[in-house]
Amino acid sequence: MCGRYASSRGPEDLAGIFEIEKWQPEEGEQLAPDFNVAPTKEVYAVLDRPLKDAADPAPVRQLRTLKWGLVPSWSKTPEGGARMINARAETVHEKPSYRRAFAARRCVLPADGYYEWVTAPEERQLEVEGKKKRPRKQPYFVTPADGSVFAMAGLYEFWRDKTLPDEHPLAWWVTCTVITTEAETTPLAVAPEEGPRSLADIHPRMPLMLTPDRWDAWLDPSRTDVEELRPLLEPPPAGLMRAYPVSTAVSNVRNNGPELLKELEGPEEGTLF
């Protein structure tokens, strides 16, 4: 899954990476670097979409701020958005909450990498049994080994708050979700000296990373045939990622700063691995 990630690149940097054509932030829309992005926060998203009220209907590559936690257009309230932070690649084309967005509203969510808390076999068994007392988990930061942007496949959706008038600034919500896939079982490009050797050793799921050769096809809104889109959900080539242990301070969403990305020499005492 993906429940927390880091995103420190600014609009200028992202504009160059993704060839952004439009970024004109309104007041308060430019986001500060966030080293502990959590569900319901505003996040940057790259998407191709015609400009509002433009005479030319051609899609334009835009950088937008969206709320993480997808609210389907047909929802009566936005309350379920906090639970819809991830969509499974295996079923995204058929689930009622995601299938329309998958066909027409795909985006890329740029990140430095994501955090995942190790789920060892004994831990998973406790979860299966529904026991509340669990070992303290060690967080790991997963990031491209070459330092490039971690481009997560995402979907976005519009939701209208019918309790507000059209001119109200909160009348429309634009929300998003991260697509996840099965975690790689192949060796990491760079693994910690002790602990997990693959992403699957940390957690059975991972965000679907899109390599640059897939960005244009993924963002193209003219591609609406589900069967033609599904090959884009294939996991990236193996061996692109590195993972390393970080402080358990990241477990508290109130903590936020570049120190959360600092690599530890080994797992913290009392944690798994």
Nearest to 102 by CA among 242, 3, 226, 248: 226
CB atoms within 10 A of CB 68: 24
2 a catalytic residue: yes
Q: Distance from CA of residue 122 to its chain's centroid?
A: 27
Nearest to 48 by CA among 223, 233, 220, 229: 220
Tokens representing residue 71 in the block: 């609210």
Residue 89, classified by CB atoms within 10 Å of its CB into exposed (0-12), middle (13-18) or buried (19+), is buried
Nearest by Cα to 110 from 191, 23, 187, 227:
23
Tokens (6 digits) for 128: 């299966």
Write down how long the chain is.
273
**Which residues, including other chains, have CB under 8 Å from residue 33's CB and lie 6 or more apart?**
7, 8, 9, 10, 258
Question: Catalytic pick from 107, 116, 157, 184?
Answer: 116
Strands (E), 75-161: 86-88, 106-111, 113-117, 139-144, 150-160
First-to-last C-alpha distance (Å) of the chain: 19
| Strands 150-160 vs 106-111: parallel, antiparallel or unpaired | antiparallel
Per DSSP, 76 falls in state S
Is 107 designated active site?
A: no
Provide the annotated active-site residues: 2, 116
